[in-house]
Structure 1
Amino acid sequence: MSPLRRVGGLFAAALAALTVAACGASSTDSSATSSAAPAAAPSSAAPAAATREVKDATGTLIKVPAEPKRVVTLTQEDLDAAIALGVTPVGITNGQGIDTPPAYLADKVQGIPVVGNLLQPVIDKVVEVQPDLILAGDMQDQQILDQLRKITPATVVTMAPTDDWKLSFMGIANTLNKLDVAKRVLADYDAEIAEAKGKVKPAEVSIVRWNPQGPSWMEKRQFASFVATDLGLTRPKAQDKDGTAHSMPLSLEALADIDGEWLFLSTLTADGEKALDDVKKTPAFKELKAVKDDHVVSVDGSVWSTRGAPLAAQIVLDDLVKALTG
């Protein structure tokens, strides 16, 4: 089992140990109280929960719980990061382009209430789960942010437009007061990369999302591109652009721009899937070098086309290694 995949298991074991310890402490405290003098009546004013001040992705200083107990995530990147850090949210949103939670995280979020779609929370549903911290991804709608901050002032924008996935992850970890865990997660990822480099030969990879309007290739600072670069892989000359987004959809006349030694293809919608199926029948697609060499790999767009987080990075890395060593 890889180090990164052990994170969830280690957290569960640690949580169980803490639970046992807490139960024991509770029992001891109870017997001690029964033999002592009667306790004074509790104060009517409950002590305020401890807070910390963090800087969010917009540079705003926000007070958050020192030990958040009820976390809501508004993007799958926030959700992925929280799970990797051993935090189970009390509310989540659906995945990118779908009306269900992200499929690759489905087994980890069973029973957690869905409070809306990606970056489109239903305010009443957020209220119902009573969050003490909201991870708001790259939310830019100030009206929604204002509504969320009426529920809890600890509503944190976790991603800036130009942040890479590791930087966003560390920001989320800081907000959750889990920096030590985050450092171990990234160290595990680095170890996975080092191990994979010993298996994978240098190769040129084209990373493409097929939209209903046509294919868009991924710029070099996009999430999956970063994983490929970490692995020592290169991009076709036409895709050698140091940006953080996808290109504009290409026409069939420009399909050469998506060619490479290997072509990793994804879609996000049923319309995109249909458009890809249709173009696969065309001479222009069949003439691509990757197609002729049988080096076309279908991958999950809901993972590859996201802003990225540790568990998604593991899947992208696995997909790359499996294709390039298979």
Structure 2
Amino acid sequence: MRRHLITSLFALVLALPALAAGKTVSDAQGRQLVVPDSPRRIVALSELDLDAALALGIKPVGATLGRGQGGMPRYLGQASAGIAPVGQFASPVLDKVLALQPDLILAGGLPDPQLLAQLEKIAPVAISYQLGEDWQTALQRIGTLTGRSAQAQLALASYQQQATALRQRLGKAAGARVSVVRWNPQGPAYMLRDAFASRVLADVGLQRPAGQDQPGIAHSPPLSMESLQRIDGDWLFIGTLAASGPASDALAAAQQNPAFRQLAAVRQGHMAAVDGSLWTSLGGPLAARALLAELEQHLLAGNAKPRS
């Protein structure tokens, strides 16, 4: 009987999954947690987490959808193919997360203690950034959390090299006042000074129009068509989060409005319709480099045209 019990226990131990080697790290809130040295099954609960993981050579097994979208952030294209959706932005579905058997959950700036406690029953949960923190600091922390610090430094160096090169080539566009606008069904809202795109613009020496140079990481309240002059600038980049739908329809209608056509940026051919999931959301190194590439395409061409 005793020999049979020992044999059964030994078989049970062999059947258990091997425990991965771990390390103790601090997340963005200073919480201490043990994470695998090289996590293989990551779930990303924010656009920044997803972007950063992909840039570090990690394909998460799951991620929340891009805000205001029915899929992953569309600027990622095929890079996000095959990643299982686990719910809307900031609202992960616990059953979907559990089914993926993650070994690390990157929770972005998730502020809900109750949700965090539930997620911690599934896998180690790391708050990867503080709200308002720049994406470069967040990337370095995500590099530490995932055991990819060297790759994070390479990604930062690549971005900085691209930003410096563009800054040196801007020519007559140097110091231009660039307006970045998210068009909503209710109307346009401009991005504030500390938003993701605003910080990328600052890295290449571009400015925001005086009326938009306000502190904040998000965007203004929607403006009426009577206040349309507030979105004007030397250059105007307008995006919607989803490629189609009410916001896209509202933007198309606005472009036929005489007040819109009288904006200086529009009259000069300095308006471009862009991907709002890239320009008006929170991205990481992939988004930052893509945004630089679009700036170069439009500003150095000297004539930005709306995209169909």
The yes-or-no answer on 1:68 pairing with 2:39 is yes
Gap regions ≥5 residues in structure 2: 1-9, 302-308
SS at match of 1:248: coil
The yes-or-no answer on 1:79 pairing with 2:65 is no
Q: Which contiguous aligned blocks of 4+ residues in structure 1 show a shift greater than 4 angstroms? A: 41-48
Task: Give the distance between the partners of 1:69 and 1:160, measured in 2 at CA.
Answer: 24
When normalised by structure 1's length, the TM-score is 0.82
Number of matched residues? Answer: 285
Task: Give the distance between the partners of 1:43 and 1:249, measured in 2 at CA.
Answer: 60
Distance 1:43 1:283, change over 3 A: closer
Give the Å deviation of 1:239.
1.1
Residue of structure 2 aligned with 1:227, choices 191, 195, 200: 200
Match of 1:242 in 2: 215
When normalised by structure 2's length, the TM-score is 0.87
SS at match of 1:210: strand
Match of 1:319 in 2: 294
Out of 164-173 and 112-121, give the one that drifted further.
112-121
Match of 2:106 in 1: 135
Do 1:164 and 1:307's aligned partners in 2 also have CA atoms closer than 8 Å? no
Do 2:56 and 2:152's aligned partners in 1 also have CA atoms closer than 8 Å? yes
Task: Give the distance between the partners of 2:283 and 2:258, measured in 1 at CA.
Answer: 34
Equivalent residues in 2 for 1:94-133 (5 A)?
Answer: 94-133=65-104
SS at match of 1:299: strand
What is the one-letter code of the residue matched to 1:143?
A: Q
Out of 92-101 and 222-231, give the one that drifted further.
92-101
Residue of structure 2 aligned with 1:214, choices 170, 175, 187: 187
The yes-or-no answer on 1:302 pairing with 2:273 is no
Do 1:138 and 1:158's aligned partners in 2 also have CA atoms closer than 8 Å? yes
Give the Å deviation of 1:44.
4.8
RMSD (CA atoms): 1.9
Do 1:85 and 1:173's aligned partners in 2 also have CA atoms closer than 8 Å? yes
Distance 1:64 1:280, change over 3 A: same
SS at match of 1:207: strand
What is the one-letter code of the residue matched to 2:233?
A: G
Match of 2:129 in 1: 159
Seq. identity, %: 43
The yes-or-no answer on 1:293 pairing with 2:268 is yes
Out of 207-216 and 46-55, give the one that drifted further.
46-55
SS at match of 1:189: helix
Task: Give the distance between the partners of 2:248 and 2:82, measured in 1 at CA.
Answer: 30
Match of 1:261 in 2: 234
Task: Give the distance between the partners of 1:103 and 1:245, measured in 2 at CA.
Answer: 19
Do 2:75 and 2:275's aligned partners in 1 also have CA atoms closer than 8 Å? no
Match of 1:197 in 2: 167
Task: Give the distance between the partners of 1:103 and 1:115, measured in 2 at CA.
Answer: 16
Give the Å deviation of 1:227.
0.9
